[in-house]
Chain A
Amino acid sequence: MASRYRIGQDPDYVPLGRRLLLMNWTLVLLLCILSGIGFAMLYSAANGSLQPWAERQMMRFAAGLTLMILIALTDIRIWLRMSYAAYVISLILLVGVEIKGDIGMGAQRWINLGFFQLQPSELMKISLVLSLARYFHGLTIEETGRIPLLIPPLLMVLAPAALVLRQPDLGTALLLVAGGGVIFWLAGVRMWKFALVLGGALAAIPIGWQFLRDYQKNRVLTFLNPENDPLGAGYHITQSKIALGSGGLFGKGFMLGSQSHLNFLPEKQTDFIFTMLGEEFGLVGGIALLLLYTLVIVYGYVIALRCANQFGRLVAIGVTTTFFLYVFINIAMVMGLIPVVGVPLPLVSYGGTVMMTILVSFGLLMSISIHRDVRISRQGNDDGRH
Chain B
Amino acid sequence: MLAEQFASRAGPDKIPTFLSTRHVFYISQPNTDIDPSMWHRDSDRYRMFTRRAIMLGAGQGVLLTGLAARMYYLQVMESNRYSTLADDNRISHRLLPPPRGIITDRFGAPLAINRQNYHILIVREQSPDVRKTLTVLSQIIEIDPETIDRVEGDVQRRRSFVPVTVRDNLTWDEVARVGVNAPDLPGIIIDAGRSRDYPEGPHLAHTLGYVAAVAEKELTGDPLLELPGFRIGKSGIEKTYDMSLRGRAGTSQVEVNALGRVIRELDREEGQSGETVVLTLDIELQRFANQRLAEHESAAAVVMDVYNGDVLAMTSHPTYDPNSFTNGISHKLWDSLINNEYSPLSNKAINGTYSPGSTFKTCVALAALEAGVITPEQRFFCPGHLDLGNARFHCWKRGGHGWVNMHDSMKHSCDVYYYELSQKLGIDKIAAMAKRLGLGDPTGVDLPSERSGLIPTKEWKETQLGKRWQGGETLICSIGQGYVLTTPLQLATMTARLASGKAVTPHLTRDHVAPDEIAARNDAEFPDLGVSRAHLAHIHDGMNGVTNELRGTAYRSRIKIKGLEMAGKTGTSQVRRISMHERQTGIIGNDDLPWKYRDHALFIAFAPVENPRYACAVVVEHGGSGSGVAAPIARDLLTKAQELKSSRPGVSAVNIQSASQILRTTTKKQES
Residues of A within 8 A of B (CB): 11-12, 140-142, 182, 185-188, 239, 241-249, 258-259, 261-264, 278, 282-283, 286-287, 290, 293-294, 297, 301-302, 304-306, 308-310, 313-314, 317, 321, 324, 327-328, 331-332, 335, 337, 372-373, 375-379, 382-386
Contacts and interface: CB of A to CB of B under 8 A. Distances in A.
A373 B23 contact: yes
Contacts of B76: 248-249, 283
10 contacts: A248-B79, A249-B75, A258-B86, A308-B10, A308-B13, A321-B60, A382-B8, A384-B6, A384-B9, A384-B10
Prevailing SS type, chain B contact patch: helix
B38 to A, nearest CB: 8
A258 B89 contact: yes
A332 B31 CA distance: 49
A377 B49 contact: no
A247 B71 CA distance: 11
Contact of B75 (A244, A306, A331, A375): A244
B45 A242 contact: no
Given A186-B56, A290-B64, A377-B9, A259 B89 contact: yes
A243 B9 contact: no
A263 to B, nearest CB: 4
Given A246-B79, A328-B63, A278 B71 contact: yes
Given A245-B74, A245-B78, 4 more contacts: A244-B74, A305-B53, A310-B10, A385-B31
A155 B382 CA distance: 128
Contacts of A12: 26
B258 A264 contact: yes
Interface stretch (B14-22, B155-163, B314-322, B456-464): B14-22
A245 B27 contact: no
A286 to B, nearest CB: 5
A286 B71 contact: yes
Contacts of A297: 57, 60, 64
Interface residues of B, number: 61
Contacts of A328: 60, 63-64, 67
A261 B257 CA distance: 8
B255 interface: yes
B64 A242 contact: no
Contact of A141 (B48, B72, B81): B48
Given A262-B256, A308-B15, A379 B64 contact: no
A377 B8 contact: yes
B636 interface: no
Given A262-B256, A264-B257, A331 B67 contact: yes
Nearest to B77: A245
A245 B83 contact: yes
B91 to A, nearest CB: 9
Interface in B44-89: 44-46, 48-50, 52-53, 56-57, 60-61, 63-64, 66-68, 70-72, 74-76, 78-79, 81-83, 85-87, 89
A241 B79 CA distance: 10
A337 B70 contact: yes
B263 interface: yes
Contact of B86 (A243, A332, A376, A384): A243
B11 interface: yes
Nearest to B83: A246
B90 A258 contact: yes
B15 A262 contact: no
Contacts of B19: 302, 305-306
B27 to A, nearest CB: 6
A262 B89 contact: yes
B257 A378 contact: no
A294 B68 CA distance: 11
Given A294-B64, A308-B13, A375-B10, A264 B23 contact: no
A310 B42 CA distance: 8
A244 B26 contact: no
Contacts of B229: none
B33 interface: yes
A383 B9 contact: yes
Contacts of A246: 79, 82-83, 85-87
Contact of A185 (B44, B56, B66, B90): B56
A290 B48 CA distance: 29
B12 interface: yes
Nearest to B41: A140
B15 A306 contact: yes
B75 A262 contact: no
A305 B85 contact: no
A304 B26 CA distance: 18
B259 interface: yes
